[in-house]
A and B are shown apart, each in its own frame.
Chain A
Amino acid sequence: MADISCNIAGVRSPNPFWLASAPPTDKQYNVERAFKAGWGGVVWKTLGEDPPVVNVSSRYGAIGYRGQRMAGFNNIELITDRPLEINLREITEVKRNWPDRALIVSLMVPCEEASWQRILKRVEQTGADAVELNFGCPHGMSERGMGSAVGQVPEYIEMVTRWCKAHTRMPVFVKLTPNVTNILAPMRAAQLGGADGVALINTVNSITGVDLDLMAPMPMVNGKGTHGGYCGPAVKPIALGMVAEIARDTCGKLPISGIGGIETWRDAAEFIALGSGSIQVCTAAMHYGFKIVGDMISGLSHWMDAKGYATLDAFKGMATPNYVEWGELDMNFVTKARIDQDLCIKCGLCHIACEDTSHQAIAASRLEGRRYYEVIEAECVGCNLCQHVCPVEGCIAMVPVPTSAPYLTWKNHPRHPDNLATTE
């Protein structure tokens, strides 16, 4: 059996599956249930200074897709609404009861050194393994000068991180907000400030929908709505992109805890392959309960066994070198769509997608009275739109055209403006 134990920035856990800082980690009761179910670690729900915040009623919005619930999830909750004292006491007890699990405490206090110093001292006494600085929440806290209001200003990130490193011996993770144009800027600021690692992504600023009767955005509180943080399966591609960006930029040297839309062992494996050391889950646990970690552990282990990866490090970051700029792709590589006529159910979706919106490369005809769809190879540009719209798994294959032509990047392509100039 593969060893899936995890060590990231000195924080150890029996498996890489952590619960992200959110309601599932707000109380000892929840966290101990999670540990019983098998979760390797938790990031405790963000602590702040007393008096605690007050939350509104109706806090979540969700996007379903074609009968599946919660493809995307949105919240307008704030940080923990329980007194600091209670949280710290529970954290101490949980760590004592579960010494082998990772327990990281998420923090968000005003942008003053004294505030951070004060809370860090108290967290240190709990025996927690690390802290995570929440520079992420796009709602509520940002309007108070915290959360993404800090996370969007690299100078602030660097300053607060530096304070924290100065005032604690615990490893410091900086949790990044995706609500920026370039994720590398806040990441570099955290690095400059001395962060031991980054965690990303926090939620994406959003409105989930509009109630067309009440004419108010959702989620709605007594007829009014506000922007909230989007997460769940829908945000996974955004998160993967940002994780890959950071892993590539730092050559895998900066520990990353990957977050965003992770629901299955496969999602987790993808984050790890792109450079994450641990992964964090919020929405999937809120949707199905803690039991899902059973399949995550079993699925990841069996997959690693099948691939011959003995440890997480054996494949961590393996996909990062293959994440390149567009300009480094091979212009001589060509694939063509091929329809398996035995599998084809003659729905015509491939044809109309290509005919109406792309390259007119799938002919619609009748063969012995039956509908017949066939790729016109000469017209097919290998975009694979048809493969994506086809409802039958494995029916349309993208077949590489054998070529002896060398790997050709755009820079060396005859149509690159520089090369046009020289040939003319």
Chain B
Amino acid sequence: MSVNVAEVESLLAGEPGEKLSSRVRGGRLQKETYERNFDDLHPPFTVQEAVVEADRCYFCHDAPCLEACPTGIDIPGFIRGIQTGNVEGAGRTILGANILGGSCARVCPTEILCEGACVWHGRNGKPVKIGALQRYATDWLMDRSIQPFVRASPSGKRVAVVGAGPAGLACAHHLSRLGHDVIIFEQRAKAGGLNEYGIAAYKVPHDFAQREIAYLMSLGGIEIRHGLMLGRDFDLPELLRGHDAVFLAIGLGAANRLGLPNEDLAGVEDAVAYIAALRQADDLSKLEVGEDVVVIGGGNTAIDIAIQAKRLGAVNVTIAYRRGSAEMSATSFEQELAQINGCTIRHWAAPVALHGKDGRLTGVEFATTETDPGGKLVIGEERFLLPADQLFKAIGQTLDRGAFPTTSSPLVETKIRIDSEFATSIIGVFAGGDCVSRDQDLTVVAVEDGKRAAAAIHNYLQP
């Protein structure tokens, strides 16, 4: 679809008489097609499928899959429960280590985590489908509303958690188990963080995020106060006065900008904001999607927005990334998924200009790129243009500094700085999840942060 810059003018003029704005619209598909496109990416295992798959597990000693799970779930242990028909025990094993084990079963990039480490790779076999088995066991417990945990006797302590995403929820659940009362302050109308507003719709369909939160909350001892934003409605010193400790789990609320002129052309959108709207839409046909869609970025957000745009009916979807396939932070499984869904991935291309007409985007101009011997990215001479009526920026999130208008001490550069015990530089204030610095921004890592921070806070609260 790309053309030389010389041909730009004619192309940008569009078809004679065509109204450019009509190219970005909803209602591109039949109702049933929308439903099918946003249903479960992988349907759940039947009993027999689960047992047959569980039988492939060798029950490894010191299992590498367990080691590769950020939350350290005893994977051979829970798979054995599925083998033996002790599904309840399996579910408890999972949730004991990871209270959002149901979400993680659906959203974890298992190919780079547990399944990537499975010993079956060593004999050129397919890894045990740990994610699907985990979903089977956690669904079993949730479907029966079995809450595996009881609260310890009340400690009389109150902890404030800011942000009801995976990190905040996991921390709250563990603190409540330890006997502390928890109040979560959440700016949004719904809890779940990116589980509710960010993860691709087909990974967690049928309102799974909310069902899981209701299940988690059935432990008791946790209250969520919605519509309250740190930095707007209250500040840190206030929180500290009313609570024995504070856990900040505010994620990354701001999106990076391309830094190009024209970035406010109609049709230029932030991927995460668009996905949030998609996740909350009652009627998917109301979502407007372009004919020629360009996505900028190389992570899972780029993949997710590309696939979802395609599944909303976009005709051409191209992901452009400034480096090669191996450098993309999206896993190879995710890259393939985009390709299977009919998206094109163009590597070694960096956007250099946005073209528009009548205030609307019409095309994106790219420069080819390469790396110098030192690995540094250099912009090449070649230019090409992709016609585009919609562009999604998926080039990363940053901390929303609005949360700390007065205090800047817990912040360092882009993320909140913590020590190995999840403590910030302010005594009694802890932080975890995406808002702190670490290698991977994943749901499962956020859950582990929340769990370990809860242990650290519990320690801090001891007299």
Interface residues of A (CB under 8 A from B): 68, 264-266, 288-289, 291-292, 294-296, 298-299, 302-303, 306, 392-394
Query: A265–B61 contact, CB under 8 A?
Result: no
Chain A residues whose CB sits within 8 angstroms of the CB of B88 once the complex forms: 298, 302, 306
The CA-CA distance from A294 to B86 in the complex, in Å, is 11
Query: B86–A295 contact, CB under 8 A?
Result: yes
In the complex, how many residues of chain B place their beta carbon closer than 8 angstroms to a beta carbon of chain A? 18
Query: A264–B48 contact, CB under 8 A?
Result: no
The CA-CA distance from A289 to B76 in the complex, in Å, is 12
Q: Which of A68, A264, A392, A394 contacts B84 (CB 8 A)?
A: A264
B81 within 8 A of A: yes
The CA-CA distance from A295 to B81 in the complex, in Å, is 6
Query: A299–B81 contact, CB under 8 A?
Result: yes
Q: Which residue of B lies closest to A393 (CB)?
A: B48
B80 within 8 A of A: yes
Identify 13 new A-B residue pairs, CB closer than 8 A, beyond the known A265-B86, A303-B86, A393-B46.
Answer: A264-B86, A265-B84, A266-B84, A289-B59, A295-B86, A295-B89, A296-B84, A298-B88, A299-B85, A302-B86, A302-B88, A302-B89, A306-B88
By secondary structure, the B interface counts as helix
Which of B48, B77, B83, B86 is the most central at the interface, judged by chain A CB atoms within 10 Å of its CB? Answer: B86
Query: B59–A298 contact, CB under 8 A?
Result: no
Q: Which residue of B lies closest to A291 (CB)?
A: B77
Would you give the 0/1 interface string for B260-294, flagging 1 where the beta carbon is closer than 8 Å to chain A? 00000000000000000000000000000000000
Chain B residues whose CB sits within 8 angstroms of the CB of A392 once the complex forms: 48
The CA-CA distance from A291 to B93 in the complex, in Å, is 14
Query: A288–B89 contact, CB under 8 A?
Result: no
Which of A266, A288, A291, A299 is the most central at the interface, judged by chain B CB atoms within 10 Å of its CB? Answer: A299
The CA-CA distance from A339 to B47 in the complex, in Å, is 19
Chain B residues whose CB sits within 8 angstroms of the CB of A296 once the complex forms: 84
Would you give the 0/1 interface string for B15-49, flagging 1 where the beta carbon is closer than 8 Å to chain A? 00000000000000000000000000000001110
The CA-CA distance from A392 to B81 in the complex, in Å, is 21
The CA-CA distance from A117 to B47 in the complex, in Å, is 55
The CA-CA distance from A392 to B59 in the complex, in Å, is 25
B451 within 8 A of A: no
Q: Least Cβ distance of B97 to chain A in Å?
A: 14
Q: Least Cβ distance of A123 to chain B in Å?
A: 33
Q: Which residue of B lies closest to A392 (CB)?
A: B48
B67 within 8 A of A: no
Q: Least Cβ distance of A152 to chain B in Å?
A: 35
Chain A residues whose CB sits within 8 angstroms of the CB of B47 once the complex forms: 393
Known contacts A298-B89, A393-B48: A289-B61 contact under CB 8 Å: yes
Q: Least Cβ distance of B81 to chain A in Å?
A: 5
The CA-CA distance from A266 to B61 in the complex, in Å, is 23
Q: Which residue of B lies closest to A301 (CB)?
A: B89
B235 within 8 A of A: no
Q: Least Cβ distance of B133 to chain A in Å?
A: 14
Chain B residues whose CB sits within 8 angstroms of the CB of A292 once the complex forms: 59, 80
Interface residues of B (CB under 8 A from A): 46-48, 55, 59, 61, 76-77, 80-81, 83-86, 88-89, 92-93
Q: Which residue of B lies closest to A300 (CB)?
A: B86
Known contacts A291-B77, A393-B48: A299-B86 contact under CB 8 Å: yes
Q: Which residue of B lies closest to A391 (CB)?
A: B48
Q: Least Cβ distance of B46 to chain A in Å?
A: 8
The CA-CA distance from A289 to B77 in the complex, in Å, is 12
Q: Least Cβ distance of A347 to chain B in Å?
A: 14
Q: Which of B55, B61, B77 contacts A295 (CB 8 A)?
A: B77
By secondary structure, the A interface counts as helix
Q: Which residue of A lies closest to B91 (CB)?
A: A302
Chain B residues whose CB sits within 8 angstroms of the CB of A288 once the complex forms: 59
The CA-CA distance from A291 to B92 in the complex, in Å, is 17
Q: Which residue of A lies closest to B81 (CB)?
A: A295
Query: B89–A299 contact, CB under 8 A?
Result: yes
Chain A residues whose CB sits within 8 angstroms of the CB of B55 once the complex forms: 68
Which of A266, A295, A303, A394 is the most central at the interface, judged by chain B CB atoms within 10 Å of its CB? Answer: A295
Query: B85–A266 contact, CB under 8 A?
Result: yes
Chain A residues whose CB sits within 8 angstroms of the CB of B93 once the complex forms: 298
Q: Least Cβ distance of B53 to chain A in Å?
A: 13
Q: Which residue of A lies closest to B46 (CB)?
A: A393
Chain B residues whose CB sits within 8 angstroms of the CB of A291 once the complex forms: 59, 76-77
Q: Which residue of B lies closest to A294 (CB)?
A: B77
Q: Least Cβ distance of A222 to chain B in Å?
A: 31
Chain A residues whose CB sits within 8 angstroms of the CB of B61 once the complex forms: 289
26 intermolecular pairs with C-beta atoms under 8 Å apart? A68-B55, A264-B84, A264-B85, A265-B84, A265-B86, A266-B84, A289-B59, A289-B61, A291-B76, A291-B77, A292-B59, A295-B84, A295-B86, A295-B89, A298-B81, A298-B88, A299-B81, A299-B84, A299-B86, A299-B89, A302-B88, A302-B89, A303-B86, A393-B46, A393-B48, A394-B48
Q: Which residue of A lies closest to B80 (CB)?
A: A295
The CA-CA distance from A298 to B96 in the complex, in Å, is 14
**A-B interface, 3 closest residue pairs, ranked by CB to CB distance from nearest:** A299-B86, A298-B89, A264-B84
The CA-CA distance from A292 to B92 in the complex, in Å, is 16
The CA-CA distance from A266 to B47 in the complex, in Å, is 17
Which of B46, B83, B89, B93 is the most central at the interface, judged by chain A CB atoms within 10 Å of its CB? Answer: B89
The CA-CA distance from A296 to B77 in the complex, in Å, is 11
The CA-CA distance from A303 to B93 in the complex, in Å, is 16
The CA-CA distance from A273 to B202 in the complex, in Å, is 46
Q: Least Cβ distance of B147 to chain A in Å?
A: 14
Q: Least Cβ distance of B85 to chain A in Å?
A: 6
Q: Least Cβ distance of B384 to chain A in Å?
A: 51
Chain B residues whose CB sits within 8 angstroms of the CB of A289 once the complex forms: 59, 61
The CA-CA distance from A169 to B104 in the complex, in Å, is 57
Chain B residues whose CB sits within 8 angstroms of the CB of A299 once the complex forms: 81, 84-86, 89
Q: Least Cβ distance of A38 to chain B in Å?
A: 12
Chain B residues whose CB sits within 8 angstroms of the CB of A295 once the complex forms: 77, 80-81, 84, 86, 89
The CA-CA distance from A306 to B89 in the complex, in Å, is 12
Q: Which residue of B lies closest to A299 (CB)?
A: B86
Chain B residues whose CB sits within 8 angstroms of the CB of A303 once the complex forms: 86
Q: Least Cβ distance of A291 to chain B in Å?
A: 7
The CA-CA distance from A265 to B90 in the complex, in Å, is 13
Q: Least Cβ distance of A221 to chain B in Å?
A: 28
Q: Which residue of B lies closest to A298 (CB)?
A: B89
The CA-CA distance from A291 to B89 in the complex, in Å, is 14
Q: Least Cβ distance of B77 to chain A in Å?
A: 6
The CA-CA distance from A299 to B59 in the complex, in Å, is 16
The CA-CA distance from A306 to B144 in the complex, in Å, is 12
The CA-CA distance from A295 to B79 in the complex, in Å, is 10
Q: Least Cβ distance of B248 to chain A in Å?
A: 36
The CA-CA distance from A265 to B93 in the complex, in Å, is 16
The CA-CA distance from A393 to B52 in the complex, in Å, is 11
Q: Least Cβ distance of B287 to chain A in Å?
A: 36
Q: Least Cβ distance of B380 to chain A in Å?
A: 53
The CA-CA distance from A289 to B60 in the complex, in Å, is 10
Chain A residues whose CB sits within 8 angstroms of the CB of B46 once the complex forms: 393
Which of A266, A289, A298 is the most central at the interface, judged by chain B CB atoms within 10 Å of its CB? Answer: A298
Query: A298–B48 contact, CB under 8 A?
Result: no
